[in-house]
Each structure stands twice: as C-alpha cells, then as structure tokens.
Structure 1
C-alpha cells in the first residue's frame, strides 16, 4: 500500500505476470470523498438529486474517460445548470481537476518521476497449479471489483435527468418568449471547393489568360452540413444566354453568390455583376445613378472638367491642351455622348417615366430601387451578368420589354427564373440543377422539357433492357452452374455480367402537390363594390367609379402597370382600406385568406414552421399543424427548420399553409408566384382550379394567368375595367403600347 502524492489517496499496487514475464501494474482507487468534497466546495448550492447524479457518473470509474473533455461532455451540462454564473472554461477546469483526483497516478508520476514497484512479483503459474483452491485469488488479479455503493442508482439518475429536462424546457420557453427582441438571425454560410488545372493556374498567374468562355470544373458547394453540388461542372460560352432551373432549395441562388463572390474562381479579367441588392437611396437622381456605373466614362468626364478649369484659369501649358484632346478622343470612342440616351431608354423600359428619372433614389420604394439596380446592370454590360428572378419586381409591360432587350444581350448571361414564358423567350441554353449536379441542354425551356423527357425515357428503356438481359444470363448461369460440360460457358457468362456497366433506375422527381381546404358554400350575393373611388390625397387619385363583383366560382386575375392600384383594390375588397366614395357589400360569412406579396416580411425568421402556425392558431395538436404544412410540401425535418434557413419558395409555402389554417372561403393572392419554382407554380394553378371558393389573383406570371383566369381586370388610367378576350388581348394592347414608345 502506498499514499498518493497528489491527493493523499490510498493506492493498492499489484504485479501481474503475463506469459511468465513480470510486469508491474499500479491500480489506484481514489477516495470518492475527495471528489465529493471538491464538488460541494465548488457548487455549494447543488441539490441532492443532481449531486447524486454527478457522483454516480464519477463512481463509474476514471477508466471511462480518456481526458477531461469526455468528462465535461458527461457532466458539464449538469454543472452549468447548477452554477449558471460559471463560464465554460471554469467548468472545464473543474472537470480537469476531478479527473486528476480520479487518476492520481498521472500526477504522482509527474511529481516523483517514476512509479513505485513491489518488492516481489505474484507468479501466475504457481497460482494456476492450485487453480481450484485459488480461483478468487486469480480473479483478484484480473477483475477489479467495484463497491456496489458507488454504482449509479437508476431511480436517482432518472429523477435527476427529469429535473434537468425541466430546467432545459424552461430555458427554451424563456428563449422563445424573447424571440421578438431578436434582431439578427445567425445562419450557416455556404462554402465551395473547386479543382483547377495547373495550366490554367499558370496562365492566370502570368496574366496570359484571355479566354472569354467560363469553365468551372469539378466543384462542390455545401450549405452547412448539406451538400448542394458535388463534383459538378458548368461551362458558359461567351455570348450565350443560360437559364438556370431546378426545384426550390437546391442551391440556384447560392451558386450565383458563389460565382459573384469569387468563392468559385473564374478568370480574373472577366467582369461579373450580380443583381442582388437594391440601390442605396440618396440624393442622386435615378438617371445619374445609372450613368455612374460607367467608371471609365465618369473618370474621363472628371479629368475633362479638371483640365477645362485649369485652362479657364489662364494656364497656358501646351501639355494640358494635348491631354484634353486625348480625353475628347477617348470619350468619342466610347460614345459617351450617347450614354444618357441609352440609360434613359433602359429606365423607361423598366417603368421609370421622364419625371421619375430625375427624382432622387431615396424617394423610391425598395421594389423600384431593385429595378434601378437592374437598370444599372443592363447599362454597364459586364462580361458575365447574373440575374436572380428579375421578373419578380416587374409588371407585365416591363417583363415584355426586358425579354426583348435581353434577346440582343451581347455578353454572357446566367439567369435564375421560374417564369415559364421568360425562359421560353430569353435563354439559348438551359442548365438543369438536380441530384447535386448540373446538366446542360441546348435551346429554350420548351426544348429542354422535350429533350429531358426523351432522354429519361431512353435511359429507362436502356435500364429495363439491361435488367432483362441480366435476368436471362443469370437464369443460364443458375441452370448450368453445376454442369461440367457447360462450365466454361458459365464462367464466361459470369465474367460478362461483371463487365456490364451498372445502370440505375431513373429517379422521377416527386410531384409537387398543393391543396387548399374545402370552402364553406355561401348563397349569392358574395362580393360587390359599387361606384367605389379611392385617393390617398386630392392630388393622388388611384381610381374612381369602380363597379365590380365576384362569386365563389370566380377566378379573377388583376393586371396593370405597377402603381396603378392593384394592391390597393385588393385591400378595399378585404376591408383593410375604406373607399373614399362608394359602397362595398360582402356576405356576412365570407372569410378571406390573404397572401401578401411581402409575405416574407411577415414571417418570424427565428421560429420554425410548426411554431409559426402555433403562434397564429394556438391550441391545436401538433399533428394538425404538420398536416397543414404537409399540404403545401413542408414535410419531415423541413417543418422544424427555422424559417430563415428556408429558400424563398419554401417560405412562400409556409405562408400558404398559415393563410389556409383559418379555413377561408375566398382567396386573395397578391403576387403568389414570387420565389416559387416552375413545378410549384403548376401545382398552384391546379390547386386554384380545384378550390371550391372564390379567387382574386394579382400576378404577372403569364403561365399561371392562362391556367386559372376566367375574368381579367385591368387597372390603369384611374379605373378598373374587365376586358373581353382575356390575357391574349391584354398582351396585344401592351405590345402596341411598347411599339408606340419606341417610335
């Protein structure tokens, strides 16, 4: 017996003989009283249940813990609950000290420099001669018995864990109650890795890379622990227009950000512009804000002004005149005098009137400043232009203008869009993001769909043919496996099967299904507005003398330029705004479901989808909330993610689910397709057609309008009128108006 130099514990030493070779083994039994006293000195307020829980963990033995980190993992959370004022470092230091108390041999060896050895060995061979009489003695060498009093009491452990769970739930509830005060959301950021060839790297280092085509090969993109793209390749040929398509949440927007931020490397001489942020509002006029994008023009004009001021002050240096002549030549080469007209044409096409072009940018709303950002990008003409849902902020007139403008785009364009008509009009190529890779197709979206369908059909046929061939060969092998005369044939068949390429069955995309709840039937009249006028001020009349009506069978689409009162009309219909003149009649049991175009701003980014529905409609079972979310494609773990971590389209689905939780019988949808992918827009159209209540829809998505529209209301010229001929007639009117503007 020895006394531990570190903690004064009693040490029992034994020597084990292994295969006739004596090896000293030191087995230390630390006094639990030392650990207990240390814990109570550090945590005087610890209650009995938690203390016994910690003591039980320690009593299980020091051999269970390789280091103090593992001990911290076992009891650290409990100790934090006991003393919240202690930092993580304090608790880790305490765990380190406890481990040293439990494993004194390490400290003893450090203090003394060596281990103590017994005077004589215990010979196993001698003990084995009298095996029957010495079983317990041998067992004492190999088995370290534990005091049952030191084992963890299961009931005490369960009680302690229950108390700890209660404290954690209380802390989570307190955190949930304080969510409204949280102003920032911590999100995982996307990461990218890429393989580049040595040849391209050397050319880039020497500045000899002048290629205009962009190749990003063998790259990965991940968002947190989720892999979005793996070993993907993308090639963008100069002068071609690419449409990037794929389901919501697969990483299309993330890919654009990776390219624009430089995390995915492209040749340094290629200029990239990603239209993502709106223009900052200040006193700069809209037209001037666009002109400032041309850095070379601005630099030359500034230099021209400086030289002119010097000459006007009487400077006779001939060098100045030479510099001024050179500046004028450069301005002429870049056609600087035509820049204001070109900028004005772009702004006008995006809906900025001549008066609006002279207004300071700070006077515009966020949507108009996003249009201004798009105008700046179109004016600056980068080598690679990245657009993410450019049609979301535009009315139909601006969309048609943009489609026509981009068809003559001179450099490379990569655009993410879910507007089916836009994708049929603008792109020369389609990039399909799916299954963590990108497939390229020539032609517009219509050609892509046909080619993809045929490609998948051929792949499925090839797979089925190979499966039949495999089955036929395998049948031969099984039949003649044990036939000596056919042994060589069997072996050749086996080798042939091994060499066949492994084909996989085609995985079809899961069909997107949206389902609106059944609506309560109502007898007419349902909704009527008579002689309604509305103005925000005497000088700002939105519309006057409007007479319209709707029933539960209505499928009404409202169109018109931005600022003509579409959203205002919806709010008057729902009673959010009161008409300046006129009368609004609605059925007393009519319940509106309102989807705002700013739905994202109305969602709690810190809550998950289930919690969001709970806060809006409390008191229902969790299963009902999850069933409602499932009706709009928010299933599984996605329903438990924070809203901030969802894609734009997934947030829209959550907003749909919340809207329908109140069982409305009349839907009012303001720009519902923003951020939805093409498949979800199709599903939305089908869901609207199956819905048993009424629908009034504001949208600029031509595909959706054509799917559901039975009546078209056009806002404009201080009026709202229903037109015959549907959307085709309205598009013809818009195109004639655009032609008149360009003449």
Structure 2
C-alpha cells in the first residue's frame, strides 16, 4: 500500500489516457490480465515524457524497457504501479521494485533475522496469519462475548485497511474519477466508524458463530492460494539465489548494508503473488552469479514482467519483447533489445542504400531529360518538347519507394490510398538519436614514451586479526600491468576485488608478498560510492563542484578548462552551469565523477562498477574511449556486455553489414585479460567473461537453484 510520503513523492507526475464508458477499469474482470491503454500522456511538471502512446502489456510476456537516461522509463513504471494511468483493471495485481526505493522507515530491531524481516514485510501474509489466529481463538473461546469481540477485531482491521486503500486511490485520481474515489473514501470512513461502534458495544450477534466459520474458511483458502505452508522454504531459496548464505539468512537484518537490504526488497517482490511485476534496475548490487540466477528465475515465472536495466546481457536473457521510449513515443519490438538494435541497423542501412540507388537513377534520368529538352529546343520540335515535359512531370509524380512495407511491388491503390502530392511513398530513414560523446584526456606520461610496468603484485596476501580469529580476504595475488594494458576482474562479492584496489592505491599494506609501484604511477579511482560522495548542497551545479574541488590544489582550474573537461564527458553548456546536481540523472552524475578524476589525468585507472546507472548509449561511448585510452585500466564489473565490449568480444554497432575490426589505435598494446578473483588467488580466464558465465551456470546447476 503506498504511503502518504510515497504519494507526495510522485505528486508532480501527471498521467492521462483515452477513456470511454466501456473502459477496462469499469469491467472488473478477473480473467483478463492484459493491460491495454490508449493515447497515454505522461508528464513530470512541465516536461512531457510520453505523448499519445499505447501502453500494452500482454499477459505472461517479459518486456525489456529501454531508452536514454531521463526519457521516462522509471516514471512510466511508477505511473503503472501507482495506477495513475486511467484504465488499469483493478483486478490486476501489480508489484513494483524501484531503484529509488528507500529503506523502510519502520524501526528495525537489530536482532530480527533476515528471513523473519522478509516474511513480516509480506503484508498480505501477515494480515491473513493474524486473522487466522484471531478467528481460531474466536472458535475456541468459551464465551459468546469473547468470540464476538475477536470477530469484531478482525472486521475492524479490515475496515481500517479498506479506508487506507480508498484514501490512496482518492489521492491519485482527479476529475470525475476523483469524485467517485472520494465518495468511496467517505463510504469507507463511515463503514469504519460503524465497525468501531460495534467493537466498542460488543453486542453478541445470533449468527456470529457462522460468520467466524465462514471468515476462517476464506482466510485459510487465501493462505493456501499464496502457498503459506511452503512460503518459508521458498523465501530461503530466493534469498540463497540472491547471494545470501544460510548464516546471513538467519542473521540479524539490522546488520545488513544498503545493497543487501535492496536484495531483501527484491526477494519480497518475487515472493508476493502478482500478475504484473515491474523491476527497475533489479541487478544493481547483485554479483554476476546472483544476476544469472535472477534471470533464470524471472524466465520461469508465469506473469507479465517489465524490466528497466543497464545490464544489456541481463535484459537480452529475460526479454521476450522490447519497449522503447524515444522522442516522446513508446514503441514495441518483438524481440530482445540487441535484436531490436540489429534490426534497426539493417533497416537503416537498407534504406540508405535504396535511397542512394534511387538518387543515382534519378540523376541519370534527369540528365537524359535535360539532354532531350536541349535537343528539342535546338531543333524546334514542339512534340518532342511536350513529351520531355510530360516525362519530367511523371518523374516527379512517381518518384519514391518502389516496394511496399511488406517488400512486395508497390501498387498505388493498395499501398498509398487517399490524396497525396506524389504517387510514391518517400523513403523515410529513421533518424538516429544523437550520439553520446565522451572524450577521455590523454593518460599522463604517454608522450614521454614510458615503457615497463606501472604496477606489480607478487604473492600478495591480505589478512586481519591474529590466531584463530585471523581472516584472510586475499591470498596469492599476482599481477603485472603497464601502459596500454587492460585487466578485468570478475568474481563474487566479498572475494577481495575492493581489497585489491586499496592495495594498489596504497590504502592497505599486504601481510605477505610485495606490491611495487612505479614512481610515475598516477591512479584514478572510481567505485560505487564515488557518486554518493558528491556534494548535496541545494542548487550546486557540476561546474561549481569542479571549481570548488580544485580551487586550492597544486593545479588550480579555470572556468574555461573546467568547461572543456566537463564538455568532454557530455556535461557542456548550461547543463554544467545552470542545472543543479540534484536534477542530474544517475548516468550524468557518473560522468561528472569521471570528469573530476581527469582534471589531473592519471595513467592508471581503476573503475569499480562504473556502468551502473549508465544507459546503453553512454556505455558504448565510454567503452570506445576506454579501448583507445593508453593508460593502464583495471576494470571491476559484473556487466557482461560492458566487459565483452572492453575486451573486444562484442563489437559496437556500425553502419557496415559485418562487425568492424578495431583499428590499431582503438586497441590497447596487449590483449585485455580477464581474471577470476578468489580468496585463494587469481585465475586467468582464457575465455573471458563467457568462460566465467559458464562456470556460474555449472555452479548453479550443481547447487540446484
């Protein structure tokens, strides 16, 4: 149930849709699980996100929702989940997990086990179990007055929940629908007052025993429907799949970090019965093993699912169809996001070639007409001149696409009915969205021709404590890196990836082994907390943050140089100087954090989950630059697509029919390496991320989850 705080948070969102007296919301059908809304408009404040769109979610179909950052993907999910769009059938159960969802404001005991917290957060289950307990006590009570009081307590709790539901609906609706919702709210208030009076007087009703039996039967059926008898074992299975150990599952919820609490919210969403499941960045905070488990689990569910995710491989694995938000429109494609991009690329390439062929043909015919006209004028042949003019008119009338949309030969009456200025359809080439541009400054020391290793680790071990309580977090780590070399680290969370980064930065010292750093080593470090550490002052802009950060540094920055660096990361013009940080998207904040790293360019870059919050276009742009960058690159990621692009196993799309071969200046001086990091050392994966994915698939199969 949305709280007043949640509803206020989205009060600036306005949604409209075409309505009629046969509106789906008035049918109250329990069998139709499709959502089909026409002419949907979605705005945030004065900004239009979607106009005249059809929101069509077919039962049991899995959708990947894609689009640039700030196009309205998350807002659309909120509008559906909160039923802001008129016409969503009330019988359809919707569950929504948001990347922006805050931790539950309810105080949490440090000692409540994780599994108990998840089960207690299942409000329907909790209410049904409470009612079952009260009704069973009412059946076993020795006095009629006690039975009646327990029955009235159940009815009072239901009336209170009904009022909360009516209030939330009334807050979301306006106009005629809002008037009816407020009438329902008033009726719920009156019903609650009547139930309170019955509870206070506790007059014994003659049919109280029958009511108790009937209600208890309904409650038991509802518990059976949601699988209450197996729900604890299913909850354990989901939590294990999301990466929880048995020790963590039975351990205190209060000790969990924000990322693990997000996994608990995701587990709850997978547990609650629903017809439509809306997931906004569900793979955030998940390691690859948990992400792969989640994609298999989602594929097994017989419900409609809509997913927003920066993880291209995850979306491709789950999606049956793709929804695209661009240019304020909502489009659909019967396939995965990657299949959609490939189909659009081929269609665009085909039309470009078709247009080029038509232009060449037209140029030839126009030259022939011009020659005929010149000859007719020279000889004074009026008949020939009229014939040339007629030919010229036909050329203009009949010039255009010579095939129908289905690929058949063009027929005027069938393919272009109605009045038009030409007898042929023009070839319409869909304009690509503006390309995201990122320009990384040159790595420090490259022009000096430095050769040799920037960094070497040999037999490194890191441990904490002594004796039996000693804990080894990294052991047997060996790594040598120099200019132009790329290393990707993969592995489970908690296997030492962050520890290795801190060793390189000098924030930790090894308990065994050696770490050698070249005197010229300059590191730049980005991790998942870098964006969180940006200033949060009201109305502070990217440009102001940049100037404040380096005003007292050894290399002070001017506004001109700050704008140049910010512009290289797509934060130019008024976006840098007039847009407050709080209004920037997650991806724009990541780009700001990277720009701050490159004020004094490093020659060794450590990027820990940098692709989180970046859309596909930005990931591509960043990947292009990282492949060309001549410094050392240590990349920590669970994003398979991002890793495969960086290592050259996946090529970024182009207008050629075949994937391009990267030129020498687009690649590092030696092939990128992928290492599986474990507490017992580092293992080179010759097959890269694909090999690691195969290892995980075998591990999940062995564990039976």
The alignment's TM-score, normalised by the length of structure 2, stands at 0.71
How many equivalent residue pairs? Answer: 557
Alpha-carbon offset, residue 352 of structure 1: 0.9
Question: 2:573 aligned with 1:611, yes or no?
Answer: no
CA separation of 1:248/1:307 partners in 2, compared to 1, >3 Å: closer, same or farther? closer
Question: 2:663 aligned with 1:663, yes or no?
Answer: no
Alpha-carbon offset, residue 694 of structure 1: 0.4
Partner secondary structure for residue 534 of structure 1 = strand
**Larger CA deviation: 345-354 vs 321-330:** 321-330
Residue of structure 2 equivalent to 1:23:
none
Partner secondary structure for residue 579 of structure 1 = coil
Question: CA-to-partner distance for each residue in 1:547-599, whole Å, 9 max, x for gaps?
Answer: 33322233111111112221122112111233345443211121111112122
**Larger CA deviation: 413-422 vs 363-372:** 413-422
Residue of structure 1 equivalent to 2:575:
638
Residue of structure 1 equivalent to 2:637:
699
Partner secondary structure for residue 390 of structure 1 = coil
Residue of structure 2 equivalent to 1:428:
320
Residue of structure 1 equivalent to 2:266:
374
Residue of structure 2 equivalent to 1:290:
118
Residue of structure 1 equivalent to 2:529:
598
Question: 2:533 aligned with 1:533, yes or no?
Answer: no
Whether the 8 Å contact between 1:614 and 1:625 is mirrored in structure 2 is yes
Question: CA-to-partner distance for each residue in 1:257-301, whole Å, 9 max, x for gaps?
Answer: 232233323222222222121543713432223334544433332
Residue 653 of structure 1: which of 578, 587, 591 is its match? 591
Question: 2:448 aligned with 1:524, yes or no?
Answer: no
Whether the 8 Å contact between 2:65 and 2:324 is mirrored in structure 1 is yes
Question: CA-to-partner distance for each residue in 1:595-628, whole Å, 9 max, x for gaps?
Answer: 1212221222432222222122334332322221
Question: CA-to-partner distance for each residue in 1:334-382, whole Å, 9 max, x for gaps?
Answer: 4321111111111100001111112232211111111111111111132
Question: 2:517 aligned with 1:586, yes or no?
Answer: yes
Alpha-carbon offset, residue 460 of structure 1: 4.8
Residue of structure 2 equivalent to 1:195:
17
Q: Quick one: distance in 2 between partners of 1:230 and 1:476?
A: 46
Partner secondary structure for residue 421 of structure 2 = helix
Which structure 2 residues correspond to residues 100-179 of structure 1 after superposition, within 5 A?
none
Residue 547 of structure 1: which of 445, 468, 478 is its match? 478
Which structure 2 residues correspond to residues 263-274 of structure 1 after superposition, within 5 A?
263-265=84-86, 266-274=88-96
Which structure 2 residues correspond to residues 54-73 of structure 1 after superposition, within 5 A?
none
Residue 441 of structure 1: which of 307, 311, 333 is its match? 333
Larger radius of gyration: 1
CA separation of 1:315/1:732 partners in 2, compared to 1, >3 Å: closer, same or farther? farther
Residue of structure 1 equivalent to 2:178:
none
Q: Quick one: distance in 2 between partners of 1:642 and 1:445?
A: 32
Which structure 2 residues correspond to residues 327-476 of structure 1 after superposition, within 5 A?
327-328=219-220, 330-457=222-349, 460=352
Whether the 8 Å contact between 2:34 and 2:57 is mirrored in structure 1 is yes
CA separation of 1:464/1:340 partners in 2, compared to 1, >3 Å: closer, same or farther? same
Question: CA-to-partner distance for each residue in 1:181-220, whole Å, 9 max, x for gaps?
Answer: xxxxx9997533423221344x534645863211232223
Question: 2:558 aligned with 1:730, yes or no?
Answer: no
CA separation of 1:466/1:262 partners in 2, compared to 1, >3 Å: closer, same or farther? farther
Q: Quick one: distance in 2 between partners of 1:217 and 1:556?
A: 49
CA separation of 1:234/1:456 partners in 2, compared to 1, >3 Å: closer, same or farther? farther
**Larger CA deviation: 333-342 vs 688-697:** 333-342
Question: 2:182 aligned with 1:244, yes or no?
Answer: no
Alpha-carbon offset, residue 331 of structure 1: 3.5
CA RMSD of aligned residues (A): 3.6
Q: Quick one: distance in 1 between partners of 2:288 and 2:497?
A: 13
CA separation of 1:464/1:250 partners in 2, compared to 1, >3 Å: closer, same or farther? farther
Residue of structure 2 equivalent to 1:305:
133
Residue of structure 1 equivalent to 2:557:
620
Partner secondary structure for residue 233 of structure 2 = helix
Alpha-carbon offset, residue 310 of structure 1: 5.2
Whether the 8 Å contact between 2:453 and 2:483 is mirrored in structure 1 is no
Alpha-carbon offset, residue 461 of structure 1: 6.2
Q: Which has the higher contact order (CA 8 A, sep 6+)?
A: 2
CA separation of 1:338/1:523 partners in 2, compared to 1, >3 Å: closer, same or farther? same
Alpha-carbon offset, residue 705 of structure 1: 1.7
Q: Quick one: distance in 1 between partners of 2:360 and 2:43?
A: 39
The alignment's TM-score, normalised by the length of structure 1, stands at 0.67
Question: 2:421 aligned with 1:497, yes or no?
Answer: yes
Whether the 8 Å contact between 1:531 and 1:547 is mirrored in structure 2 is yes
Whether the 8 Å contact between 1:593 and 1:668 is mirrored in structure 2 is yes
CA separation of 1:224/1:726 partners in 2, compared to 1, >3 Å: closer, same or farther? same
CA separation of 1:290/1:463 partners in 2, compared to 1, >3 Å: closer, same or farther? farther
Whether the 8 Å contact between 2:81 and 2:94 is mirrored in structure 1 is yes
Q: Quick one: distance in 1 between partners of 2:607 and 2:135?
A: 58
Q: Quick one: distance in 2 between partners of 1:661 and 1:655?
A: 11
Residue of structure 2 equivalent to 1:675:
613
